[in-house]
């Protein structure tokens, strides 16, 4: 930081005006780091982030509704992207 953050007075440390001015920013940095780690942990557990999937229309007719409801209940922070197309179109979407 190139400025003194603490003054030593015997065995005690006292924050300097620099430290006092920087304290709120330091709290935000620690908070943001903790929130970032929490977000990554949620992503790793499959509770947060994007989820894209595709299925044919005959399968989607009876499976898509219950599947989406279950995902929304158990992982409401997921960003879902469902594609209902023919098999040929799904393969094209995967390749392209």
Q: Which residues contact 42 (CB under 8 A, 6 or more apart)?
A: 48, 49, 77
Domain boundaries, the chain: 1-45, 49-96
More confident residue, 26 or 58: 26
Mean pLDDT of 65-88: 90
- In the predicted model, is pLDDT for residue 87 greater than 90? no
Over residues 45-74, mean pLDDT: 90
Name the average pLDDT for the chain. 92
Angle at 96 between CA 60 and CA 40, to 5 degrees: 75
pLDDT given for residue 26 in this prediction: 95
**β-pairing, 12-15 with 48-55?**
unpaired
Alpha-carbon gap, residue 79 to 72, rounded angstroms: 9
């Amino acid at each position: 930081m190139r400025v003194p953050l603490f003054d030593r007075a015997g065995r005690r440390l006292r924050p300097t005006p620099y430290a006092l001015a920087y304290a709120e920013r330091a709290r935000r940095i620690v908070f943001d780091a903790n929130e970032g780690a929490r977000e990554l942990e949620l992503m790793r557990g499959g509770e947060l982030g994007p989820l894209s999937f595709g299925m044919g229309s005959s399968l989607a007719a009876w499976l898509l509704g219950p599947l989406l409801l279950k995902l929304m209940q158990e992982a409401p922070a997921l960003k879902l992207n469902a594609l209902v197309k023919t098999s040929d179109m799904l393969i094209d979407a995967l390749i392209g």
